[in-house]
């Protein structure tokens, strides 16, 4: 039972990170990045080929992968994030030049489908249909914990990474950079008239999203120890998007809540479907169905999401001139004028 909960919690933490990443493009800038899950896959594949040892070709087996640098965990994850950033930079440069938001959505969706076909097909890049496997569990060799203990450790590690991601993204959100993103979202004509280079702003946000996505993918593959084309498809984007839409666009706490709700609770609950006489194999389909319906319902009745966006407020109780006047007044009384 406990290992079930830790497993769900671990995956939940990673999916929360993924949702935070999608939120950068969607919530902060208002651009729909349908290629997001491709970056997750890129991160997973990159971490694999960075952390695995060199491939030893087996005779008769059409299987190989590139690199194989046998890097340690942290380096592998960092490297994967960088690769995600680079790939998203390339895609973003192509996709974001056009201002039409519907074209952006189409190009990114198409890119994702392409990536799916390309990354998964070639047996030389990332192992083709078999994918990558055997990624060593992080730190296991040095820590040498039992299964239970290791699971707790890994969960703790993921929670640390989640907190780190949240903190960094909050820093960005509250900064002038984050404000520029939101201004571009709210009115790009005015944002441009006040000095924002629209393409540059959109691209930078897109790259941040791609980097976080790849980071999440790298963490994922280190947990599952394997990754192949059947573990991902474009529909995953919908699930992740639903976490953001349901939870609260542009609000990081809301996104985490939404992620937990849609991507942890719903799939787990649908596992119980066999109790209700349904076929167990239908579990994922029912989960997807519920998640998608939830998106529609939320957008109909509570479009801002469960936890709405926060705005910057000033807590100064008085206007500056009134404050100055009061200060003068108290000064004069003290001096006894």
CB of 19 to other proteins, least distance (A): 14
Strand partners, 133: 226
3-state secondary structure of 53: coil
Which CB sits closer to other proteins, 79 or 204? 204
Instruction: Return the residue of 66, 67, 125, 238 that touches other proteins, per CB under 8 A.
Output: 238
Which CB sits closer to other proteins, 50 or 203? 203
The answer to whether the CB of 186 falls within 8 A of the CB of 250 is no
Which CB sits closer to other proteins, 79 or 178? 178
- DSSP characters over 60-114: T----BS------HHHHHHHHHHHHHHHHHHHHHHHSSS--HHHHHHHHHHHHHH
Hunting for tokens 């280190």 — which residue is that? 222
Under rule CB under 8 A, which residues in 108-127 are in contact with other proteins? 109-111, 113-114, 117-118, 121
Which CB sits closer to other proteins, 147 or 314? 314
Binding of residue 224 to other proteins (CB under 8 A): no
CB of 285 to other proteins, least distance (A): 4
Under rule CB under 8 A, which residues in 178-217 are in contact with other proteins? 178-180, 182-183, 185-187, 189-198, 204, 208
Q: Is 319 left (phi over 0), alpha (psi -120 to 50) or beta?
A: beta
CB of 147 to other proteins, least distance (A): 32
CB of 194 to other proteins, least distance (A): 5
Instruction: Return the residue of 314, 335, 336, 337 that touches other proteins, per CB under 8 A.
Output: 314
Under rule CB under 8 A, which residues in 3-62 are in contact with other proteins? 30-32, 34
3-state secondary structure of 226: strand
Give the number of residues in contact with other proteins, rule: CB under 8 A. Answer: 77
Strand partners, 227: 132
CB of 272 to other proteins, least distance (A): 15
Q: Which stretch binds other proteins (CB under 8 A): 51-59, 63-71, 133-141, 167-175?
A: 167-175
Tokens of 166: 């949240």
Q: How far apart are alpha carbons 241 and 16 in whole angstroms?
A: 11
Count the neighbouring beta carbons within 10 Å of the beta carbon of residue 106.
15
Instruction: Return the residue of 75, 168, 325, 329 that touches other proteins, per CB under 8 A.
Output: 168
Which CB sits closer to other proteins, 9 or 113? 113
Q: What are the residue ranges of helices labelled H in the chain?
A: 2-23, 36-51, 73-95, 101-121, 140-143, 147-174, 176-186, 188-193, 198-224, 235-247, 252-259, 266-271, 283-301, 320-335
Under rule CB under 8 A, which residues in 265-304 are in contact with other proteins? 281-282, 285-286, 288-289, 291-293, 295-296, 299-300, 303
Under rule CB under 8 A, which residues in 68-107 are in contact with other proteins? 94, 98, 100-103, 105-107
């Amino acid at each position: 039972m406990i290992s079930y909960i830790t497993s769900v919690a671990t995956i939940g933490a990673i999916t929360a990170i993924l949702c935070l990443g999608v939120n950068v493009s969607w919530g902060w800038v208002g651009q729909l990045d349908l290629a997001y899950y491709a970056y997750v896959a890129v991160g997973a594949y990159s971490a694999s080929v960075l952390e695995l040892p060199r491939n030893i070709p087996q005779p008769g087996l059409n299987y190989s992968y590139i690199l194989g640098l046998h890097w340690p965990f942290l380096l592998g994850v960092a490297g994967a994030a960088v690769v995600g950033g680079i790939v998203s930079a390339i895609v973003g440069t192509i996709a974001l030049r056009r201002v039409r938001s519907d074209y952006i959505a189409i190009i990114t969706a198409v890119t994702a489908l392409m990536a799916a076909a390309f990354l998964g097909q070639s047996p030389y890049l990332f192992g083709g249909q078999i994918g990558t496997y055997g990624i060593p569990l992080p730190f296991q060799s040095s820590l040498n914990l039992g299964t239970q203990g290791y699971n707790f450790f890994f969960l703790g590690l993921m929670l640390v990474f989640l907190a780190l991601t949240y903190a960094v993204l909050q820093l960005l959100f509250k900064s002038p950079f984050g404000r520029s993103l939101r201004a571009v979202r709210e009115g790009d004509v005015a944002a441009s008239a006040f000095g924002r280079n629209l393409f540059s702003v959109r691209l930078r946000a897109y790259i941040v999203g791609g980097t976080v996505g790849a980071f999440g993918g790298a963490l994922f593959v280190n947990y599952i120890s394997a990754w192949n084309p059947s573990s991902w498809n474009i529909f995953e984007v919908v699930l992740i998007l639903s976490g953001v839409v349901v939870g609260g666009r542009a609000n990081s706490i809301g996104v985490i809540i939404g992620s937990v709700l849609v991507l942890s609770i719903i799939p787990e609950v649908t596992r119980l479907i066999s109790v209700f006489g349904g076929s167990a194999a239908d579990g994922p389909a029912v989960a997807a169905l519920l998640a998608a319906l939830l998106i529609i319902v939320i957008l109909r009745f509570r479009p801002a999401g469960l936890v709405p966006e926060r705005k910057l407020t000033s807590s100064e109780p008085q206007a500056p001139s009134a404050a100055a006047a009061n200060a003068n007044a108290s000064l004069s009384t003290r001096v006894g004028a």
